[in-house]
A = this chain, B = another copy of it.
Amino acid sequence: MTDDRPRPVKTTQTSLALVRAVRDSDGATLSELADRLELAKSTVHNHLHTLIDEGFLVRDGDTVHVGLEFLSFGEHARERNPLYATARRHVYTLAKTTGHEADFIVEENGRAYSLEYAIGEPSRRGLSESSPFRAGNRFYMHNCASGKALLASLSESRVREILGRWGLPATTDHTVTDESDLFDELEAIRRRGYAVNDEELLAGYRSVGAAVTSPDGEVLGAFSIGGPTYRMATDESAIEEIARLLETEISSLEATLF
Known A8-B50, A67-B77, A75-B135; 6 more pairs at CB < 8 Å:
A4-B49, A16-B54, A23-B73, A58-B109, A71-B136, A76-B136
Q: Does A12 contact B (CB under 8 A)?
A: yes
Q: Does A47 contact B (CB under 8 A)?
A: yes
Contact yes or no, A70 B77, CB < 8 A = yes
Would you give the 0/1 interface string for A53-67, flagging 1 where the beta carbon is closer than 8 Å to chain B?
Answer: 111101000000111
Given the known A-B contacts A12-B11, A54-B13, A135-B75, are A65 and B47 also in contact in the complex, defined by CB atoms under 8 Å?
no
Of the candidates B5, B12, B78, which one forms a contact with A71 in the assembled complex, judged by CB atoms under 8 Å apart? B78
In the complex, A70→B137 CA distance in Å? 10
Given the known A-B contacts A49-B6, A55-B111, A108-B68, are A136 and B77 also in contact in the complex, defined by CB atoms under 8 Å?
no
Of the candidates B9, B49, B75, B109, which one forms a contact with A11 in the assembled complex, judged by CB atoms under 8 Å apart? B9
Contact yes or no, B134 A75, CB < 8 A = yes
Of the candidates B7, B23, B45, B56, which one forms a contact with A72 in the assembled complex, judged by CB atoms under 8 Å apart? B23
Q: Does A46 contact B (CB under 8 A)?
A: yes
Contact yes or no, B74 A16, CB < 8 A = no
In the complex, A67→B78 CA distance in Å? 9
10 tightest Cβ-Cβ pairs between the two chains A and B: A74-B74, A71-B136, A11-B11, A75-B136, A71-B74, A70-B73, A72-B136, A68-B113, A70-B74, A12-B15
In the complex, A201→B109 CA distance in Å? 38
Contact yes or no, B12 A50, CB < 8 A = yes
Given the known A-B contacts A70-B74, A71-B78, A113-B71, are A108 and B58 also in contact in the complex, defined by CB atoms under 8 Å?
yes
A107: nearest residue on chain B (CB-CB)? Answer: B68
State how many angstroms separate the Cβ of A3 from the closest Cβ of chain B: 10
Contact yes or no, B56 A16, CB < 8 A = yes
In the complex, A51→B4 CA distance in Å? 11
Q: Which residues of B contact A179 (CB under 8 A)?
A: none
Q: Does A19 contact B (CB under 8 A)?
A: yes
Q: Does A96 contact B (CB under 8 A)?
A: no
A15: nearest residue on chain B (CB-CB)? Answer: B12
Q: Does A187 contact B (CB under 8 A)?
A: no
Contact yes or no, B12 A47, CB < 8 A = yes
In the complex, A52→B13 CA distance in Å? 11
